[in-house]
Amino acid sequence: MTLVASDIMTPHIKSVPASWTMQKFGAFLAQNGISGSPVVNDRNEVVGIATLSDIADFHLNHVDTNYDAQMTPEEQKEARRLRQFIFEEMVKVPVEVGDIMSPILLYVTENTPLSEVAELMMKEHLHRIFVMRDKKVVGIITTYDMLKVLKESLN
């Protein structure tokens, strides 16, 4: 029997509005013990995915330390002070989930064979992929789900 996406997906995914603040989104992820969520627009259509990595990338992209090695110790100290000041000012402006999300470009359907799901996830370096039906998210497959299948097949 060939396994398909619907056989291993996690159904009933919690989505978040694109208009949520990054802080509210972070709290939502922590409360639900998850690392990412689909993002929906005002019409409840999935427009992207946002993850803990997106939050981290947002903060890290605003702190570039590539030039620190070329600076004197005094310049490094001043650069750290300026970065801290900029970061403190940035958090005063609410950043919305829609600003940090990645648009959904790749997904599978419920009937996609698991071998194709695995191939797509490996090719695109994805840790999660949505399962869609009629432009709606009906589930998600994560690398953990794939590892469970692998473990079961080895037993």
User: What is the per-residue pLDDT across 62-83, written as a single tens digit (0 to 9) for each?
Assistant: 544 555 567 788 888 887 788 7
Architecture field, domain 5-154: Roll (3.10)
Averaged pLDDT of the chain: 86
pLDDT at 53: 86
pLDDT at 113: 98
Residue with the larger pLDDT of the pair 58 and 52: 52
Residues 101-114: tens digit of each pLDDT: 998 778 999 999 99
Residue with the larger pLDDT of the pair 32 and 71: 32
Q: What number is the average pLDDT over the span 20-40?
A: 91
pLDDT at 29: 92
Under a CB-based contact definition with an 8 Å cutoff, are residues 16 and 101 in contact?
A: no
Residues 6+ apart with CB under 8 A from 58: 22, 95, 99, 100
For the chain, strand residue ranges (E) read 10-11, 16-17, 36-40, 46-51, 102-103, 107-109, 128-133, 136-142
pLDDT at 20: 95
User: Is pLDDT at 90 greater than 70 in this prediction?
Assistant: no
Domain limits, the chain: 5-154
Under a CB-based contact definition with an 8 Å cutoff, are residues 27 and 16 in contact?
A: no
Under a CB-based contact definition with an 8 Å cutoff, are residues 31 and 40 in contact?
A: no
Rounded Cα gap, residues 100 and 19, in angstroms:
11
